[in-house]
Amino acid sequence: MKFKTTPYHSDLLKDNDRLSAFYHAILEYDSNHDLAYDLGCGSGVLSYFLSDYFKEIIAIEIDKKASDCARENLSGFSNIEVVNSDVLEYNFTKKADLIVCEMLDTALIDEEEVPVLNYAKKFLKEDGKIIPQAIINTVELVNLERHYIHWDEDVNYEEFSKPIVYSEFNLLDDINPEFEADLSLKANKNGIINGLKITTYTKLNDNLIIGQSPMLNPPLLIPLDEKSVKVNDLINVKLKYIMGKGIESIQSEYC
């Protein structure tokens, strides 16, 4: 099936790793389920995948152009309703067996995955599930070429520690979007550090975890003041951000 898309959603459709991961997570379902919500449905491709397994799919998309594309793409499916709305303003009237929410980005900082799911999962059945299921974040010390917050998209940097897991969230839980942690990282060589690298792994279900792909969770590079380190030095850093409020909310400093 050929999908009409916006330029941004066209890039998402070309990311085969991302698309395949969600497709295989949805394949675990049989056709005995009543309702799925597809939140931030974009062009509607995940609703298309869901159509064989659920009697009803409500696909919600805030962007008017994207929702128009989804409505056209899915017009042949009697069990899919496309709604142009902010999820946080949508009047949910039914509880679902599944919520799919693909508003993913590194550490869930830039997209509204956490505030959207904190609200929408009130309309999930007691035994209902969410795709993705969980998020795992790692951090390591680096020396950055660019001294501002940016994503790892063909930029140069040097790693100065092994990655450690600094946070893990089950998306069925209520999550406080205001994140704060004191990190302790051990330098594994001599040199100059001036930043952190955050990498996010997405757990779609019990059997499927995906790392970065072209349009999914590129590592995020965060500057620190320049500091000389030696092998085995412990570097303590305070990291703060608000999930859903963008990279402008990130604060990082030595402690």
pTM exceeds 0.75, yes or no: yes
Do residues 200 and 213 make contact, with C-beta atoms less than 8 angstroms apart? no
The backbone torsions φ and ψ at residue 177, rounded to the nearest 5 degrees and listed phi first, read -70, -20
Q: Does residue 52 contact residue 80 with C-beta atoms inside 8 Å?
A: no
Which domains, and CATH codes, for the chain? 7-102 (3.40.50.150), 135-254 (2.70.160.11)
Q: Is 219 in contact with 152 (CB distance < 8 Å)?
A: yes
Paired residues of 178 in beta bridges: 242
The amino acid at residue 25 is A
Q: Which two tokens stand for residue 168?
A: 């893990």
CA distance 188 to 207: 32
Each residue's pLDDT expressed in tens, for the chain with a length of 255 residues:
788 888 887 787 888 899 999 999 999 888 889 999 999 999 999 999 999 999 999 999 999 999 999 999 999 999 999 999 999 999 999 999 999 999 999 999 999 999 999 999 999 999 999 999 999 999 999 999 999 999 997 789 999 999 999 999 999 999 999 999 999 999 999 999 999 999 999 999 999 999 988 788 899 999 999 999 999 999 999 999 999 999 999 999 999
